[in-house]
Structure 1
Amino acid sequence: MDLIESLSYEISKLPGVGSKSARRIVTHLLKAKDDYVSNLVKLMSDLKSKVGKCPVCGMFTENEVCSICSSSLRKKDRICVVEESEDVHSFEESKVFDGLYHVLWGRISPYNGIYPEMLNIESLKKRSLAGGIKEIIIATNPDDEGDVTASYVKNAIGEICPDIIFSRLSSGLQSGADISFASSRALYSAFENRVKL
């Protein structure tokens, strides 16, 4: 396999990129100026070496603690639990939530070999036990695995912190929809009409 094919193959592994798109990207890189390609390579290298997970919420950050967790402007008594870091960006772009987040890094899916102990749930327990949390909004995707994950999170935290209110996004989101692709309007509606669990 030559360089062009090898790079095209690796790029095609990216989410949403098929083999034809990967080939177009490689062609674009070959035509691009050297400084553009060098900068892109440097940024990709820096991404792996300088970006980590926030020890509080689990979101990607370049800082010791992410900008949301360290902000004095956020409401500290509400946590929105999401599956992936991209979901946080969707909520932030829609401006529907001004509290804190917690990234699970997946969802319970025994079929895919993902079990509760593999998710970022223990740190959510610690945050809840630290006190000050009044509501946990569970914003997992609206499908069977998202429902199972939401139920597990509610039971795991509710067992140790019975005073916390748990809610789930309303059915304004289509079943099987991915929150990271939902429109701002759909997220706003689902968030404002959330249902108590």
Structure 2
Amino acid sequence: MKQMQYAGAVSRLIGELARLPGIGTKTAQRLAFFLLNAPPEVAISLAEAIREAREKVGRCSVCGNLTDVDPCPVCQNETRDKGIICVVQDPRDVVAIEKYRGFKGVYHVLHGALSPLEGVGPQELNIKSLLDRLAGDSVREVILATNPDVEGDATALYLARLIKPLGVKVTRLARGLPVGAHLEYADEVTLGRAIEGRLEIE
């Protein structure tokens, strides 16, 4: 059966939407036709939101989280405990932990995990600025909240070996999280228990 050919502009729109994570060709087609059939202001508003986010959102100069103000709201918040830093792989993990509402420390976003097979080494991660934050005596504990998979565990072990000689307590989230799962998919109760039951890395 011959595949239907769309007009050039429609085909390009479907192709661009299909490049988004988790969006296959059929979903991209549905999204494209929704946008084409919706009132013009719907598509214009979406395009404006994407443009504004790309122009205004960047990395926090302190923690590396995505933000449209620098430093980010968490780093600016004087009620947060700056002596406890929770290290996560992605900005989405910050959102997941914030849903728990029980963590009162601050964050550091690595923007990835060590993966030699994919060419991701320490230089590709936001590690140097983390070590800079530990240079003073204000940080008491670093929670390594990387994902409980091979890459996340390797990253946590690497960071622990760098941090422990500095005299800072290093802990890892308790194994209430399923192995191989990502933090963004964990429910608040499971994630909360993992934070509360974190273990010091020897």
Identity %: 38
> Cα deviation per residue 1:8-62 (whole Å; 9 max; x = unaligned)?
1211121222211111111110111111211111111111111110000000111
Residue type at the aligned position of 2:23 = V
Q: Which moved more, 1:126-135 or 1:8-17?
A: 8-17
Partner-residue secondary structure (3-state), 1:69: helix
Map Cα deviations across residues 132-163 of structure 1 (whole Å, 9 max, x no partner).
1001000000011111100111111223x12x
Contact 1:96–1:187 at 8 Å: present in 2 too? Answer: no
2:40 paired with 1:34: yes
> Partner of 1:167: helix, strand, or coil?
strand
In 2, Cα distance between the equivalents of 1:122 and 1:112?
20
Unaligned runs of 5+ in 2: 1-6
Aligned counterpart in structure 2 of residue 178 of structure 1, from 168, 176, 182: 182
- Aligned mate of 1:168, from 150, 167, 172: 172
Which structure: larger Rg? 2
Rounded to whole Å, the distance in 2 between the matches of 1:116 and 1:192 is 28
Equivalent-residue separation in structure 1 for 2:194 and 2:25 (angstroms): 35
| Count of residue pairs brought into register by the alignment | 195
Task: Tell me whether 1:94 sits opposite 2:100 in the alignment.
Answer: yes
Whether the 8 Å CA contact 2:87–2:107 is kept in 1: the answer is: yes
Q: Please give the root-mean-square deviation of Cα atoms over the aligned residues, in Å.
A: 1.1
For residues 54 and 180 of structure 1, the distance between their equivalents in structure 2, rounded to whole angstroms, comes to 20
| Structure 1 runs, 4 residues or longer, greater than 2 Å off | none
Local SS of the residue matching 2:75: coil
Segment drifting more, 172-181 vs 34-43: 34-43
Gaps of 5+ in 1: none
